[in-house]
């Protein structure tokens, strides 16, 4: 089959399956293999590739791209060593791409793309993929600045027009136990939600060292977590999961303002770029409800990752999947109930949607959850109450002047009262 005939075949088959309400995977002819490409071959990208290859019987990993060829090769070696998926790997020397523009060449080779780079690149990669008519799995967060989040919102609309899937890596929404818990909250099990307390208190994560051969850009790219243009700071990069759960619990209603504090007490070495190591933010909703957000990444401190929902008639713990009323424990998701790993469910549902023509689109939720984290970050950085309207009126764009190996500045650590939100 020629390329255009093949694409038409997959799309027509999906549409036909949708109109006939066929079960996922109900294709009649032979060349219905979905060709997958991975962009960003780190820990999560390698995991996502495994899950994609296990999600559907006729899927092949045909292309990979990473800023660095050594990272791509490590990932490919790992994937090739896994018994149940190695026969589905068809990456050749001609379909390995590196550098900043590698994703463009990869997009020419695939039907489905897994976007797993640091989030600073997500809006650009996502737009290019959807414009090219590809189905996408796209890790969280989806942006590091307001311009990026707005771009993702537009791209999500485009995905709907183009009938392609956009599945986000806000994975808790794909966890059966959390789905059941949130459904009960939405059904009124704890009355009206008046507050939510979200915590992401952990230890520090990796630092990948330095090498005199690396340019400042290579140093930042390899240690991307510590640079806001690449990661969004850890409140956006990691705590965004909790913001997404709050977005879910509050039924997609966005906060009207945030007031935050934050700073860095342990991450003082310049090797840690310019991100903070703790934040505490209160977000306000139009109906008076509050979202209290705490995140910290420090050594020798207590850990706690939780989402506590407080309602007018009880409370719920999302991580424990339990609901309590003032008189005692009412409901808990049975620990004896076997549930599938949420990371696998994301891909199972993505591929089932592609096969059936019922395309997933998580884009708007993903952009909004990311914006909530941006609102919280910026209020703490500037030391001001920041409104949702002010956030959306901004076109904050943290991208560097150019994506090229060589010199790049490290911005100062934001000082509240001095830093301004543009």
Ligand X SMILES: NC(=O)c1ccc[n+]([C@@H]2O[C@H](COP(=O)([O-])OP(=O)(O)OC[C@H]3O[C@@H](n4cnc5c(N)ncnc54)[C@H](O)[C@@H]3O)[C@@H](O)[C@H]2O)c1
Closest-CA residue to 141 (of 114, 164, 160, 117): 117
Pick one of 24, 37, 40, 123: the residue that binds ligand X (CB under 6 A). Answer: 40
Binding flag, residue 37, ligand X (CB under 6 A)? no
Binding flag, residue 43, ligand X (CB under 6 A)? yes
Binding flag, residue 169, ligand X (CB under 6 A)? yes
What residue number has its CB nearest to ligand X? 42
Tokens of 316: 């719920």
Give least dist CB 66 to ligand X, A.
4
Nearer to ligand X, 121 or 219 (CB): 121
For residues 368 and 254, the answer to whether their CB atoms sit within 8 Å is yes
Binding flag, residue 140, ligand X (CB under 6 A)? yes
Binding flag, residue 44, ligand X (CB under 6 A)? yes
Contacts of 141 (CB under 8 A, 6+ apart): 119, 122, 232, 236, 237, 240, 366, 369, 370, 373
In the shown chain, the binding pattern of residues 200 to 239 toward ligand X, with x for contact by CB under 6 A and - for none, equals: ---------------------x---------------x--
For residues 138 and 167, the answer to whether their CB atoms sit within 8 Å is yes
Binding flag, residue 362, ligand X (CB under 6 A)? no
For residues 118 and 40, the answer to whether their CB atoms sit within 8 Å is yes
* C-alpha radius of gyration, the chain, whole number: 22
**What does the alpha-carbon distance between residue 378 and residue 259 come to, in Å, rounded to a whole number?**
9
The residue count for binding ligand X (CB under 6 A) is 26
Nearer to ligand X, 230 or 323 (CB): 230
Burial 135-167 (b: 16+ CB within 10 A, else e): bbbbbbbbbbbbbbbbbbbebbeebeeeebbbb
Binding flag, residue 136, ligand X (CB under 6 A)? no
Give least dist CB 296 to ligand X, A.
18
In the shown chain, the binding pattern of residues 85 to 124 toward ligand X, with x for contact by CB under 6 A and - for none, equals: ---------------x-xx------------xxxx-x---
Contacts of 282 (CB under 8 A, 6+ apart): 258, 259, 260, 290, 291, 292, 293
Interface with ligand X by CB under 6 A: which residues? 39-45, 65-68, 71, 100, 102-103, 116-119, 121, 139-140, 169, 171, 221, 237
């Amino acid at each position: 089959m020629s390329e255009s005939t093949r694409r038409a075949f997959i799309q027509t088959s999906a549409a036909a399956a949708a109109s006939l309400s066929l079960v996922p995977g109900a294709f009649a002819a032979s060349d219905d293999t979905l060709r997958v490409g991975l962009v960003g071959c780190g820990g999560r990208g390698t995991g996502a590739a495994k899950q994609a290859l296990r999600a559907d019987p006729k899927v092949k990993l045909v292309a990979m791209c990473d800023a660095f060829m050594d990272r791509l090769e490590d990932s490919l070696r790992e994937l090739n060593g896994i018994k149940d998926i190695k026969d589905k790997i068809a990456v050749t020397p001609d379909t390995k791409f590196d550098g900043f523009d590698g994703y463009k060449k990869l997009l020419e080779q695939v039907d489905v793309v897994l976007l797993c780079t640091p989030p600073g690149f997500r809006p650009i990669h996502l737009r290019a993929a959807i414009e090219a008519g590809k189905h996408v799995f796209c890790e969280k967060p989806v942006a590091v600045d307001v311009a990026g989040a707005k771009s993702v919102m537009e791209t999500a609309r485009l995905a709907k027009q183009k009938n392609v899937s956009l599945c986000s890596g806000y994975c808790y929404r794909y966890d059966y136990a959390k789905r059941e818990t949130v459904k009960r909250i939405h059904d009124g099990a704890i009355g009206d939600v008046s507050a939510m307390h979200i915590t992401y208190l952990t230890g520090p994560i990796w630092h990948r060292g330095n090498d005199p051969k690396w340019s400042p850009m290579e140093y930042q790219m390899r240690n991307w977590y510590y640079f806001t243009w690449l990661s969004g700071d850890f409140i956006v990069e990691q705590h965004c999961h909790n913001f997404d759960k709050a977005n879910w619990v509050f039924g997609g209603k966005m906060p009207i303002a945030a007031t935050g504090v934050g700073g860095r007490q342990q991450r003082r070495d310049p090797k840690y770029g310019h991100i903070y190591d703790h934040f505490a933010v209160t977000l306000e909703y139009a109906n008076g409800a509050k979202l209290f957000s705490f995140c910290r990444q420090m050594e020798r401190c207590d850990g706690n990752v939780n989402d506590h929902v407080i309602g007018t008639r009880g409370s719920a713990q999302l991580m424990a999947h339990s609901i309590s009323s003032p008189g005692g424990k009412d409901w808990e998701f049975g620990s004896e109930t076997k549930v599938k790993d949420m990371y696998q469910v994301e891909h199972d549902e993505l591929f089932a949607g592609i096969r059936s023509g019922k395309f997933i689109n998580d884009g708007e939720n993903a952009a909004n959850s990311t914006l909530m984290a941006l609102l919280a970050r910026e209020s703490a950085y500037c030391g001001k109450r920041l409104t949702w309207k002010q956030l959306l009126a901004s076109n904050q764009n943290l991208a560097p002047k150019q994506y090229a190996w060589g010199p790049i500045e490290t911005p100062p650590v934001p000082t509240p009262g001095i830093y301004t939100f543009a």
